[in-house]
Amino acid sequence: SQQGEEDPQALSIQEGENATMNCSYKTSINNLQWYRQNSGRGLVHLILIRSNEREKHSGRLRVTLDTSKKSSSLLITASRAADTASYFCATDKGGSEKLVFGKGTKLTVNP
Amino acid sequence: EPEVTQTPSHQVTQMGQEVILRCVPISNHLYFYWYRQILGQKVEFLVSFYNNEISEKSEIFDDQFSVERPDGSNFTLKIRSTKLEDSAMYFCASSANSRGYGYTFGSGTRLTVV
């Protein structure tokens, strides 16, 4: 089945460092998205990368997609304490509207 | 920035009771969704809704669940007879298109079944 699986499950870094989170999936996709969730709150869309794209930037975020390896990475540069949250990848494929989420990476940025 | 609004933010209900979770999607969006997240688990798709009918649903979305867009603004999820395992955070989302992107999620309703 199509699944997004992130690693690591948890990541703790110091403010100012870069954070890299990875996502793997199993089937072909149309798009891959990254979402952020503060504890107990809603999902905030961060960035979408299409299957024909390899890299995308948005502010301090950089996303890569390797369709041959069925994997994506999210890099947050110069992290801040406010970046502390869980980060999820979500994929969609042709013929279906649903997003399939991974279990997420819990990022802690220590001040 | 436009928001998807969900009410209530937290609901506690007795097992076997009916609950209705409410959502106000973004006004010019045409596609509406419900997802849920059991504590500590993945966010799971429940149902998508377009043009006043269900366009896709998951195996979770059984006969106990129903959705409705009773007027031009609200989108509701009804659980007819709640079970303990229905306890979860329920997220509503809307999008202007059906391509799986451009979603805006609400902040969720935490449902606790006791």
Using one digit for the tens of pLDDT, what is the confidence trace for A57-107? 999 999 999 999 999 999 999 999 999 999 999 998 877 878 999 889 999
Residues of B within 8 A of A89 (CB-CB) are none
DSSP state of B85: G
Q: How far apart are CA B2 and CA A9, in angstroms?
A: 32
**CB crowding B46-81: b at 16 or more within 10 Å, else e:** bbbbbeeeebbbbeebeeebebebeeeeebebebee
Select from B98, B101, B104 the Cβ nearest to the Cβ of A33.
B101
Q: What is the separation of C-alpha A5 from the centre of its chain, rounded to a whole number of angstroms?
A: 10
**What per-residue confidence (pLDDT) applies to B100?**
54
Q: Three-class SS of residue A51?
A: coil
Say if residue A12's pLDDT is above 80.
yes
**What per-residue confidence (pLDDT) applies to B97?**
77
Cα distance from N-terminal residue to C-terminal residue, chain B: 36
Q: Is residue A30 within 8 angstroms of chain B, CB to CB?
A: yes
Render pLDDT for B53-78 as a digit per residue (tens, 0 to 9).
999 999 999 999 999 998 878 999 99
**What per-residue confidence (pLDDT) applies to A2?**
38
Q: How far apart are CA A51 and CA B70, in angstroms?
A: 37
Residues of B within 8 A of A101 (CB-CB) are 35, 42-44
In percent, the amount of chain A with pLDDT more than 90 equals 71
Residue A92 has, within 13 A of its CA and on its CB side, a CA count of 19
Residues of A within 8 A of B31 (CB-CB) are 97
Q: Is residue A95 within 8 angstroms of chain B, CB to CB?
A: no
- Output the average pLDDT for chain A: 91
Q: Is residue A63 within 8 angstroms of chain B, CB to CB?
A: no
Question: Confidence band (pLDDT; 50, 70, 90) for B99?
Answer: low
